[in-house]
Structure 1
Amino acid sequence: MTGQPVQLRLIGPVQLAEQGRVLDVGPPQRQAVLAALAADAGTPVPVELLVDRVWGERPPDRARTALYAHVSRLRRVLARLAAPVRLDRRNGAYLLGIDRDRVDLHRFHRLLDQAKNPRCADDRRVLLLREALANWCGEPMAGVPGTWAAGLRRGTEPVLIGAAALWAQAELRLGHAAAVIDRLSDLIGRYPLAEPLVAAFMRALSAVGRQVEALQCYATTRDRLREELGAEPGSDLRDLHLAILRAGPDRPPTASVATTVRPAWPVPDPTQRPIPRQLPSLGAGFAGRVRELTAIEAAFAAAAYGGEAAVVAINGRGGVGCSALAIRAAHRVADRFPDGQLYVNLRGGGAGGQRERLIPVLHRFLRTLGVSLPARTGGIEEAAGMYHLATAGRRLLVVVDNARAAVDVRPLLPADPGCGAIVTSRRALVGLDGATHLHLEPLSEPEALDMLRQLLGARRVAAEPDAVAEVARWCGYLPLALRAAAARFAARPRWPLAELARRLADDRRRLDVLDLTELSMRHCLAGSFRDLSASADAKDHAAAAVFTRLARYDRDDLSSSDAAVHLCLPVTEAEALLERLVDARLLDSPAPGRFRMPHLLRLYALEQPHPVTDPAR
């Protein structure tokens, strides 16, 4: 981080340094507070999110008081800098006012992105990666307690290892094998199972005529993989080992062994089979979800080392942004799946035992993977079998968007170790054994304001802060509603945002304002309701009737007994129907026996015909 007067280090022990002088930040918990702020440097971090990052899901009773004390002491430390760094409180959030380039983790990612550019020459790539890796002096946030810090470590270390392997490859192409041996000797001691580093190290040894040591390195790695993971080396390492054996210990290294360098993660020969790149492009205006992105990267860290296939299942009610999170996360982890990425949007179809609808999806996947289909194809079992055979030995990422049930997802998941999948759905797909389940809630107010700032422009938002806060509130802090509201007014740059807030405040117009062809809250909410009202299950029909009746109940929050009285049902029956609505994401349950209908859902329910079905029958 040459030339930066202030450095905030997260790659290694958490440190605040200025011109080579390291300041004492304080105990590990205070380091956790600083790291939690630095992870989103320049962006407000809500107090609730800070508490969660520092103390986890079960914070102590006086966690907020402890947080305020840590912030106060951090301000004193920051004030001692020659160029003081601000730590401000804004709308229930804290903002660390430091240039992101002065935080080593953010600077690392920027340099790595530049180095990955295919147009970047090797000499330039080497310089970028040397700088990116210069401060890597141990595990990220070493000594910082908590599950958030542990998740960030698990997600960051594979990226660091991949960057080191990318650097080694560029150095080898430039003929700098000795530099690679010197640096990787230390790294492999810390990460002995990181096959990309082992492969680069073996190539470097072979390049200087030390084939015997390269073969011994392979044997040591293979033994450790068997002992610690019960796994064999990946195909890239096995192929390299075979190439060195064929060259022989007394022969000079050949170009295929010494200088043919592969990307950071093993990849197949592109001339032999296609590599699909089906991920949708990243949309503008993404905010928040730091904890979820970190959790997803941590879940896939094992896949990067060739472990079991990792599956992440994201669920949440319509409009909360499950698809946007899945696509964002898929792009972030795509480098770990060099055999390609497959994507399908099921649009909620295929549930209820109609798995045959998945056959066209499987056939499309197979064609994308270069498999010629027979003239006559069988049922779902045959198609799924062909798909699993085609994905064997590959490292693929599969994104299944808008699924309805676990039974519809299983045939699309590759089972080969090292593969991964991200699945989104309205309901929690508890039938996906071994999956990492993430439930999405609406954005916090600071996150929603940040999203509107990105979509409408900082100047326009700054000119009407009160109106923007009202817009976010009437949108229920839902990303889809925020996008629709922003799109409605983006084409009207001369209109004041107060007019948008005024229209959204009108219950009779709110859903109309948020109803655009491509971004429709009404259409989004209709999907969840239709799943119940069109179901063959009588209890689903009853729950749909309860949904429309509860919308006419003039209380936002109610208990099971309140609902039973309003519905003229026994408490146990009423609660069972309410729980069914919670599962369908048409009600919230903030606590056991308590239920709440968000206002956008209430407005949609009021538009539906009054139920004829009596839920008591």
Structure 2
Amino acid sequence: MWEIRVLGPVEVRREGIAVPVNARMLRAVLASLAIRANEVVSHHTIRQDLWGPEPPASARPTVRNYVRRLRSVLGSDVIDTAPSGYRISTPPHRVDMVDFEDRIRRGTARGVDPEERHRLLADALRLWRGGPLADLDGLPVTEHVGLRLHERYLLAVEAQAAAALVLGEHEPLLPQLRELVAHHPTREGLVAQFMQVLHRSGRRGEALETYLWVRRRLVDELGMEPGAELRRVHRHILDDAQAPAEPEQAATVTAPSHAGARAQLPMDIAEFTGRVRELSQLLELADLDGARSSTAARVVAITGMPGSGKTRLAVHLAHRLVERGQYPDIQLWSDLRGFDRSAPPTRAGDALNNLLRLLGVPGARIPVEEEARAALFRSTLAGKRALLLLDNVADEEQIRPLLPADPSCLVIVTSRRSLSGLDGLRSVPLDVMPEAEAVDLLRRIAGASRVPDDTPAVRRVARLCGFLPIALALAARRLRDRPVWTVNDLVHRLDSTDRRLTRLSVGDRDLRTVFDVSYRALAPEHQRLFRLLGLHPGEEITPQAAAALANVPVADADDALESLVDEQLLQQPTAQRYRFHDLVRVYAREVATADESPADRATALDRLYAAHLHTAVAARELLASHHGVPFPLARPDGVPGAATFATRDEALTWCETELGTLSALARHAAAHGPHPVAWQLPAVLLMFYYLRSHWTDWITTHEIGLESARTLGDLRGQALLLRGLGVAKSDLRRFTESVECHRRAQEAFEACGDLAGSAWNLNNLGVVQVDRGQLTDAAANFRAALDLFRRVGDTYGEGICLNNAGDTERRRGRPEQAETLLHEALTVLARIGAEDGHRFTYASLGDLHRDRDDHSGALHCYRRAAEAARAAGDQRTAARADHSIGDCLHALGDPQGAREHWRTALTTFDTLGDPQAAALRARVPSDPSFVAD
């Protein structure tokens, strides 16, 4: 049994015995997790707690190391890992701060009798060991938690004193109250309790002296007179009357009562629509009845990218809560201008001044110091069911002083930033709108007569707006203000990517300006990365790609990407992958064009191309480890973002994950230049395309690359891509086209003197001829290819060609010659450890055994072929082997086993879109139970 103590120096105890955690930063990480027990604490929050807003470049791996070291001290079961951070899961009594707040919550609840209140609060206060995180002074984590906990502590002391006065057990509290009043002379509730305890203890004169001392401090330092509650207690003591605290008032400090403008919510939005799921979630989080068990005000944040409708939703939520009769006492609103181009963010002290005046506090009574204003604000809201809407929050520091302490209060926050460093925050992120809600918003604003029911044109408008609420609203108003336009006219005007941001503006509402505010708030290095990311032609961005574009280490790029996510300028669909909203991408490209020279843009793209090309080569070296590299490629150490792989699986996973990006890069390189990478990337990826049968990307990129190689006058590039096209079209049974590609490739290989390229091309041409039944021609091409493979020393090519030649001899009715060639192929491939090549040869040997009606021997070979194909990641060859295994099992009298293998093969063929799927269905025995999974 272990416990963690943070209400003093940070300590860990197991079975009551202290466990040493000697390193200060280790204790800081432990504190960051413990003060948020049972919540996932993000990597960002931990870094902020340890280093503040500017953590070092090595912060992320350093935190991982700290957590590892903590686990070695505390045990691996204490700290859980979550996708976004870490969590300590614990019952309340195992972390003293959690236990402290739980006891205060129960002790200050309404209806608790004074004796129980006094006991619970005394137990809570005994946990206080001099202040939270006392040994971590100076670290940001102490600032993040200290103010709130100290406020809870002082409120608990006041509440305990009130209960003690009712019970007549007040005198032992005098030393503690005296010390606290000396440190907090402007906390009038605390002073009032101290004066009453002094009076009840027979120290009337000392109580009156305390009042005079406090009044002098207030007048001299803050320019304000004591409040009504302190004056009332003073008057009672002057009259020598005892002013007992009411039991039901013991949990709060009476606030000054002044008339003021307490209903300040902005007007609800008449055209508000959608956000059903988010609104339901927010209503649940904001429910006042649900807050009864809490000891702190609820803070609910609505976060999201610029233009996602955060303020609209927050205002609508606030009005819904008021309509329900919740938070009826006070409703305040303050625009903190965290993202205003025309003015800096509102300072917390200025916001407090405005809010206090709205609450009716006279200007003369509002302190000058921010901390004193915050204390007065909390006291004024104490006991009130208040709703505070803080709009456009810049960061956590801006609003910490504005947060009330009373659990009957609700704070609704909107921000473009995550605000993850704010304790107790419940956040609802806003994404773009679902299509149906987006269409409904268009119709609501433009009018049902202008926007017909859901049509392709209306949905097209919604997509061109990226389903972003502000863009949808601007587009709808533009349509509404142009009576002669149709929806198709609007589609036509928005279809131009270059002009879309300009056309999504109405009056002084300009979408470009909305994004510009967030961009200009970035640090210069993050601004540069943001605009360079706009050059990326793919949908998703990795830290490696960002590193290449910006020419920085991957770790730095990773941290910068996370910062852009925090600023809501990037989205993160999965870990380590990032993407732009469509309209933000348009904006990023605009600022890249404006702020980066053409030469710098071209250089950044060169680095991006190089990183992906070198990584693709590294993948190919594992996927085709026995093939020769198709063209020489220098691999300088200075290519940022280039990666290597330890295993074939890693290489295959990278190719699969990056397939869309690799295709986009090839297309972009062809359209802008063309750049040599337009043909180099497809050529390097041929083995991956073959293994995974990505025929659409395979053929598209090869055709684009072929045209680029022609434009560049690169004959060898043309030859490689023609050969790759020949293989793809052969797989798709487009044999005439395949033969023509191989014929033209052969001319190009011979013209540039590439013997290895010629050998593979002749081998592949022979495969097509086998499929067309041209066995004599195929055998001649295999003999020619075999000679070339041996001349250039390509042993792997020799083994593959021997297999193909053997299979051809089998088909020609020459089983002895076939068997000799096939066993020679196995021997040659085994000599270089090329077991992946065995998948073809064992399949051919299986066919040879089946020709002899030796189904047992065939079954053994096909199973060896399937095993080797799966080890190589060759799904199509594995499916072919499964198909043949099914045939053998069926012939051997095992129809159930046959069906299982046929199903497996058919599922793979269907997944790949392989034409063999239809052939398999056609030749499967008639069996109503046979269906593809």
State the TM bucket, normalised to the shorter chain: 0.5 to 0.7
C-alpha spacing 1:511/1:107, structure 2 compared with 1 (3 Å): farther
Where does 1:178-257 land on structure 2 (aligned, <5 Å)? 178-226=171-219, 228-247=221-240, 253-255=241-243
1:90-109 pair list within 5 angstroms: 90-109=82-101
1:592 paired to 2:527: yes
> Would the aligned equivalents of 1:88 and 1:96 in 2 still touch at CA under 8 Å?
yes
Cα distance, 1:482 vs structure 2: 10
Q: Is the 8 A contact 1:319 1:481 kept in 2?
A: yes
Match of 1:404 in 2: none
Does 1:150 find its partner at 2:162? no
Q: What is the SS of the residue equivalent to 1:238?
A: helix
Alignment partner of 2:134: what SS? Answer: coil
**2:119 is matched by which residue type in structure 1?**
L
Instruction: From the superposition, tell whether residues 204 and 152 of structure 1 become closer, same or farther in structure 2 (CA, over 3 Å).
Output: same
Q: Where in structure 1 are there 5+ consecutive unaligned residues?
A: 248-252, 287-295, 301-311, 330-337, 352-383, 397-414, 452-476, 488-507, 514-520, 537-544, 554-562, 570-575, 607-617
1:167-566 aligned within 5 A? 167-226=160-219, 228-247=221-240, 253-255=241-243, 263-268=251-256, 283-284=283-284, 317-319=306-308, 340-343=329-332, 390-392=360-362, 422-425=388-391, 439-441=415-417, 479-481=429-431, 524-525=469-470, 529=474, 553=497
CA-to-aligned-CA distance 1:303-356 (integer Å, 9 cap, x gap) = xxxxxxxxx999963558678999999xxxxxxxx995224699x9xx9xxxxx
The residue number in structure 1 matching 2:54 is 58
The residue type paired with residue 283 of structure 1 is L
Report if the CA contact (8 A) 1:192-1:221 is conserved.
Answer: yes
SS at the partner of 1:342?
A: strand
Letter in 2 for 1:105: M
Report the secondary structure of 1:94's partner residue: strand
Q: CA offset at residue 212 of structure 1? A: 0.7
Offset of 1:200 from its aligned partner?
0.9
Larger Rg: 2
Asked whether the equivalents of residues 17 and 23 of structure 1 are also in contact (C-alpha less than 8 Å), the reply is: yes
C-alpha distance in structure 2 between counterparts of 1:526 and 1:577, whole Å: 9
The letter for the 2-side match of 1:592 is: Q
Distance, in Å, in 2 between the alignment partners of 1:244 and 1:547 is 77
- Offset of 1:435 from its aligned partner? 9.6
Q: If each structure's helix is expressed as a fraction of its own residues, which one has the higher value? A: 2
Check conservation: 1:133, 1:164, Cα contact below 8 A: yes
- Alpha-carbon spacing, 1:58–1:531, altered in 2? closer, same or farther (3 Å): farther
Aligned to 1:306: none
Deviation, 1:580, is: 0.9
For residue 113 of structure 1, what is the aligned residue in structure 2?
105
Q: Is 1:528–1:586's contact at 8 Å kept on the other side of the alignment?
A: no
Unaligned ranges ≥5, structure 2: 266-278, 287-295, 319-326, 341-353, 367-375, 382-386, 403-412, 438-457, 482-488, 504-508, 535-568, 572-578, 586-933
Deviation track 1:366-409 (CA, whole Å, cap 9, x = no partner) reads xxxxxxxxxxxxxxxxxx9xx8595548999xxxxxxxxxxxxx
User: CA separation in 1, counterparts of 2:246 and 2:359?
Assistant: 33
Whole-angstrom CA distance in 1 between matches of 2:58 and 2:570: 30
Query: Are the counterparts in 2 of residues 547 and 605 from structure 1 also a CA contact under 8 Å?
Result: no
> How many residues in Structure 1 have an aligned counterpart in Structure 2?
423
SS in 1 for 2:239: helix
1:87 alignment partner in structure 2? 79
> AA paired with 2:81?
R
Distance in 2 between residues matched to 1:426 and 1:112, nearest whole Å: 32
Q: Is contact 2:303-2:418 (8 Å) kept? A: no
Q: Secondary structure at the match of 1:284?
A: helix
User: Contact between 1:277 and 1:342, CA under 8 Å: does it hold in 2?
Assistant: yes
Q: Distance in 1 between matches of 2:4 and 2:492?
A: 53
Q: Would the alpha carbon gap of residues 276 and 9 (structure 1) be closer, same or farther in structure 2, given more than 3 Å must change?
A: farther
1:546, 1:13 → 2: CA distance? Answer: 64
- 1:525 and 1:601 in contact (8 A); partners too: no
Task: Report the CA distance between 1:75 and its aligned residue.
Answer: 1.3
Instruction: Give 1:549 shift.
Output: 7.8
Distance in 2, Cα, partners of 1:61 & 1:523? 34
Distance (whole Å) between structure 2 residues aligned to residue 390 and residue 20 of structure 1: 52
TM superposition shift of 1:275: 12
How far does residue 40 in structure 1 lie from its aligned partner after superposition?
Answer: 2.1
Query: Cα distance 1:152–1:169, how it changes in 2: closer, same or farther (>3 A)?
Result: same
Q: Which residue of 1 aligns with 2:66?
A: 70
Change (3 A) 1:131 1:56: same
Change (3 A) 1:155 1:230: farther
Q: CA deviation at 1:50?
A: 1.2
Match of 1:14 in 2: 10
Q: TM-score, structure 2 length as denominator? A: 0.37
Counterpart CA distance in 1 for 2:516 and 2:477 is 11
Residue 146 (structure 1) shift: 2.7
Asked if structure 2 preserves the Cα contact closer than 8 Å seen for 1:6 and 1:18, the reply is yes
Report the CA distance between 1:547 and its aligned residue: 13
Cα deviation 1:261-284 (Å, max 9, x = unaligned)? 665323357xx9799799999733
Secondary structure of the structure 2 residue equivalent to 1:117: coil
Give the CA deviation at 1:55.
0.9
CA distance in 1, matches of 2:248, 2:106: 22
Q: Distance in 2 between matches of 1:243 and 1:13?
A: 42
> Does the CA-based 8 Å contact 2:79-2:88 persist in structure 1?
yes
**Cα deviation, residue 14, structure 1:** 1.7
The offset of 1:98, in angstroms, is 2.7
Pick closer, same or farther for the CA change 1:317–1:214 going to 2, 3 Å.
Answer: same
Q: Aligned-pair distance for 1:546?
A: 13
C-alpha RMSD of matched pairs (Å): 6.0
CA distance in 2, matches of 1:41, 1:510: 46
In the other structure, the counterpart of 1:126 is 118
Distance in structure 1 (CA, Å) of the matches to 2:95 and 2:212: 39
Aligned-residue sequence identity (percent) comes to 24
Q: Which residue of 1 aligns with 2:797?
A: none
Greater RCO structure (CA 8 Å; 6+ sep)? 1
Whether the 8 Å contact between 1:161 and 1:194 is mirrored in structure 2 is no
2:69 counterpart SS class: helix
Are 1:28 and 2:21 matched, yes or no?
no
Counterpart of 1:106, as a letter, is V
1:160 paired residue among 140, 153, 173? 153
Displacement of 1:16 in angstroms is 1.5
Deviation at 1:216, TM superposition (A): 1.7
2:34 is equivalent to residue 49 of structure 1: no
Paired with 1:48 and 1:34, the residues of 2 have a C-alpha distance of 15
CA 1:549–1:339 in 2, change beyond 3 Å: closer, same or farther?
A: closer
Displacement, 1:44? Answer: 2.2
Deviation at residue 130 of structure 1 after TM alignment: 1.4
Q: Deviations over 1:556-586 (max 9, x none)?
A: xxxxxxx79x9999xxxxxx97751315779
* Partner amino acid, structure 2, of 1:174: L
Please tell me whether the aligned partners of residues 7 and 133 of structure 2 are also in contact (alpha carbons under 8 angstroms): yes
